[in-house]
């Protein structure tokens, strides 16, 4: 599955130019056989697909392959300001177990003035995105629930642009902070763990956090933060990553007053870059300085049991801790 797309024989081909059996992704999904063995591969050729896609629960072991995240693009613009609940604004929704996507771009083009506008919502177990891009502004990537793995992806946005209550691990990903509205500040993550015993967290490992090209020249005019506690037991760890100076020295932002500041779990381990200096970070009870040994329990191998379901795909994957930060 990590082989070059050309070497994987697809079960269905989608192409805007008529060179495939299907001209829309939805047509291909409608024809996915109910009874099938193994992974069902849909190859989506280069093009811009203006569609809203849901991979529903019955479509387990499905794989989307594109021609690259800047070539195969699924785009929508549903948003909160136009009267749609955040949950229903996503361009692509995944609710099926064992879904894999690679080499695809997903976007919500509603823009910052339209507030919440999701590009991708994932609420299924054992979902993998590899070399994909998710672009929007507020609430780009809704990691709703269960175990998810993102490898070599790009996620861009402004406010809470990775949010939800999943157990999600990001490796080798780039988080691009975009230029917000004039009165806004930017927040990369908003994890939504509601109960202390929930086995969920956002784990950012060997990644890069930096300003997108629209924000870079004016980044000193806006404040940007690593995260804020959407729910009371919000849990986010950033390790072995490069943090650029787009991130405010305080690092983390309250959600509302002292909500979750004592019960959240936020930790930064072995990061580098000008935004990684922890000396001026906020001093909430929920900000933890943990050892690499403690951090190891939040790696993909242990936290997601990834050796069982990520490793067999052949997609690049770090099971445990890494030494040295990300390149930028």
Length of the chain in terms of residues written: 328
Tokens of 186: 């930017």
Identify the sign of the CA torsion 60, 65, 68, 72: negative
From the centroid of its chain, how far is CA 323? 23
CA 234 – CA 200 distance, rounded (Å): 9
CA 25 – CA 195 distance, rounded (Å): 37
Cβ burial, residue 254 (10 Å; 0-12/13-18/19+): middle
Tokens of 78: 């549903």
Q: List the one residue out of 17, 99, 11, 7 whose CA is nearest residue 53.
A: 99
Of 152, 160, 240, 244, which residue is the catalytic one? Answer: 160
CA 193 – CA 208 distance, rounded (Å): 24
User: Would residue 160 show up in a list of annotated catalytic residues for this protein?
Assistant: yes
Half-sphere exposure of 177 (CA within 13 A, CB side): 31
**What are the two backbone dihedrals, phi and then psi, of residue 5, each rounded to the nearest 5 degrees?**
-55, -35
Active site residues: 160
């Amino acid at each position: 599955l990590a082989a070059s797309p050309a070497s994987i024989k697809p079960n269905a081909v989608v192409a805007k130019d008529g060179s495939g059996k299907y001209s829309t992704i939805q047509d291909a999904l409608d024809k996915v056989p109910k009874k099938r063995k193994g992974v069902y591969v849909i190859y989506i050729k280069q093009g811009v697909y203006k569609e809203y896609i849901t991979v529903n629960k019955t479509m387990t072991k499905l794989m989307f392959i594109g021609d690259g995240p800047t070539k195969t693009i699924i785009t929508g613009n549903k948003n909160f300001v136009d009267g749609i609940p955040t949950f229903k604004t996503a361009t692509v929704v995944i609710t099926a177990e064992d879904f894999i996507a690679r080499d695809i771009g997903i976007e919500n083009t509603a823009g910052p003035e339209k507030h919440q506008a999701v590009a991708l919502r994932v609420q299924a177990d054992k979902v993998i995105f590899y070399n994909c891009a998710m672009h929007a502004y507020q609430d780009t990537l809704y990691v709703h629930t269960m175990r998810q793995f993102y490898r070599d992806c790009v996620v861009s946005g402004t406010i809470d642009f990775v949010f939800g209550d999943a157990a999600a691990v990001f490796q080798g990903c780039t988080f691009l902070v975009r230029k917000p509205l004039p009165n806004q500040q930017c927040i990369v993550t908003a994890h939504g763990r509601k109960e202390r015993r929930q086995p969920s967290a956002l784990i950012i490992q060997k990644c890069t956090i930096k300003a997108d090209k629209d924000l870079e020249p004016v980044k000193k005019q806006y404040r940007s933060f690593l995260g804020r506690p959407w729910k009371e037991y919000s849990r986010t760890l950033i390790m072995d990553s490069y943090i650029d100076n787009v991130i405010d020295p305080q690092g983390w932002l309250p959600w509302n007053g002292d909500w979750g500041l004592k019960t959240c779990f936020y930790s930064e381990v072995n990061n580098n870059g000008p935004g990684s200096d922890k000396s001026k970070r906020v001093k909430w009870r929920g900000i933890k300085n943990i050892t690499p040994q403690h951090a190891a329990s939040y790696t993909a191998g242990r936290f997601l049991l990834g050796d069982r379901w990520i490793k067999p795909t052949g997609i690049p994957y770090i099971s445990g801790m890494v030494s040295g930060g990300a390149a930028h």
